[in-house]
């Protein structure tokens, strides 16, 4: 029972992060940075 509750909590937490626009801005910038690095290396 306790384990199920923890899994649900973790899932909820992950959803909170993934639906947060603040999260995607750094992610997009990081991907852009890696692509830039790849293109200039």
Task: Determine if 33 is a binding residue for other proteins (CB under 8 A).
Answer: yes
Number of residues binding to other proteins, judged by CB under 8 A: 19
Q: In the complex with other proteins, which residue's Cβ is closer, 4 or 19?
A: 19
Q: In the complex with other proteins, which residue's Cβ is closer, 4 or 39?
A: 39
C-alpha 36/C-alpha 19 separation (Å) is 26
Task: Determine if 36 is a binding residue for other proteins (CB under 8 A).
Answer: yes
C-alpha 1/C-alpha 3 separation (Å) is 5
Residues 5/11, Cβ–Cβ less than 8 Å: no
Task: Determine if 1 is a binding residue for other proteins (CB under 8 A).
Answer: no
């Amino acid at each position: 029972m306790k384990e199920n509750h923890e899994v649900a909590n973790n899932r909820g937490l992950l959803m909170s992060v993934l639906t947060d626009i603040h999260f995607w801005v750094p992610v997009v910038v990081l991907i852009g940075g890696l692509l830039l690095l790849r293109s200039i290396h």
